[in-house]
């Protein structure tokens, strides 16, 4: 046991120091400022996968990791549409998810907004033309914000959220 403690002491910290991204910081501070003024400090999003390949979800996960840490800017991803201000839909609308997306939208209280994230949500993207999909989210609901990209980066998603906040 002592040998192990000595080894830990001699090795020290081996992880890299996180570099602060000043652009991200500035963007986040602007997001936080609008949320504080117009949403009492908290903006809640329910993510809905309507048939994506999951790469869009990985970018959403990145937004919540220790580097981007979007919660510090007042944006929270929530488990229930009943707690959400906005839905963030990823992927094309697959035939078997269309009704579920409509149900989630129905369950979200007013006022509410819809963000379409990724090329698939815009027009079907990689899956356009497949018998299993209807196309982009506009086939069943009108999105307020479109976030192109395959997948969009966390910065692009954050900028789109800021654009929505400015226009609500
Ligand atoms: S936009 Fe690209 S990353 Fe997102 S679900 Fe479609 S194929 Fe996957």
pLDDT digits 0-9 by tens, 27-48? 999 999 999 999 999 999 999 9
pLDDT for 13 equals 80
Q: What's the gap in Å between 91 CA and the centre of ligand 1?
A: 6
Q: Is the CB of 151 under 6 A from ligand 1?
A: yes
Q: What is the pLDDT of residue 33?
A: 97
Asked if the structure places residue 117 within a domain, the reply is yes
The confidence score (pLDDT) of residue 91 equals 96
Cβ of residue 52 lying under 6 Å from some atom of ligand 1: yes
| Structural domain includes residue 104 | yes
- pLDDT attached to residue 80: 97
- Tell me how many domains the chain contains: 1
Q: What would the DSSP string read from start to end of the chain?
A: -HHHHHHHHHH---SPPPPP-HHHHHHHHHHHHHHHHHSTT-EEEEEEESS--SHHHHHHHHHTSTTT-GGGGTEEE-S-GGG-SEEEEES-EETTTHHHHHHHHHHSPSS-EEEEESHHHHH-GGGTT-TTEEESGGGTS--SEEE-SSSPPHHHHHHHHHHHHHH-
- In contact, 158 and 31? CB cutoff 8 Å: yes
Model pTM score: 0.89
Residue 7 lies in a domain: no
C-alpha neighbours within 13 Å on the C-beta side of residue 60 = 25
Query: Residue 3 domain-assigned?
Result: no
Q: What pLDDT shows up at residue 2?
A: 87
Domain presence at residue 99: yes
Residue 39 lies in a domain: yes
Question: Closest residue (by CA) to atom 6 of ligand 1?
Answer: 120
Residue 2 lies in a domain: no
State in Å: Cα 149 to ligand 1 middle: 8
CA dihedral 28, 42, 157, 58 (to 10 degrees): 110
Contact 133, 93 (CB under 8 A): yes
Determine, yes or no, domain membership for 10: no
Provide the residue range defining the domain that includes 117: 20-167
Q: Residue 80 sits in a domain of what CATH number?
A: 3.40.50.12280
Contact in structure between 154 and 59 (CB atoms under 8 Å): yes
- Copy the structure tokens of residue 3: 């040998």
Flag residues of the chain having pLDDT under 70.
Answer: none
Predicted pLDDT of residue 29:
96
């Amino acid at each position: 046991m002592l040998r192990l403690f000595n080894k830990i002491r001699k090795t020290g910290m081996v992880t890299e120091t996180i570099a602060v991204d000043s652009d991200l910081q500035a963007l986040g501070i602007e997001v936080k400022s609008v949320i504080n003024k117009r949403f009492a400090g908290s903006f809640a999003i329910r993510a809905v996968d309507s048939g994506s390949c999951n790469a869009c979800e990985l970018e959403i996960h990145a937004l919540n990791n220790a580097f981007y840490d979007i919660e510090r800017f007042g944006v929270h991803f929530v488990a229930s549409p009943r707690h959400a201000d906005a839905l963030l839909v990823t992927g094309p609308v697959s035939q078997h998810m269309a009704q579920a997306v409509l149900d989630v939208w129905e369950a979200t209280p007013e006022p509410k907004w819809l963000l379409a994230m990724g090329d698939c949500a815009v027009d079907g993207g990689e899956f356009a033309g497949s018998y299993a999909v209807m196309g982009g989210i506009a086939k069943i609901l009108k999105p307020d914000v479109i976030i192109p990209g395959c997948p969009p980066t966390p910065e692009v998603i954050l900028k789109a959220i800021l654009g929505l906040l400015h226009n609500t």
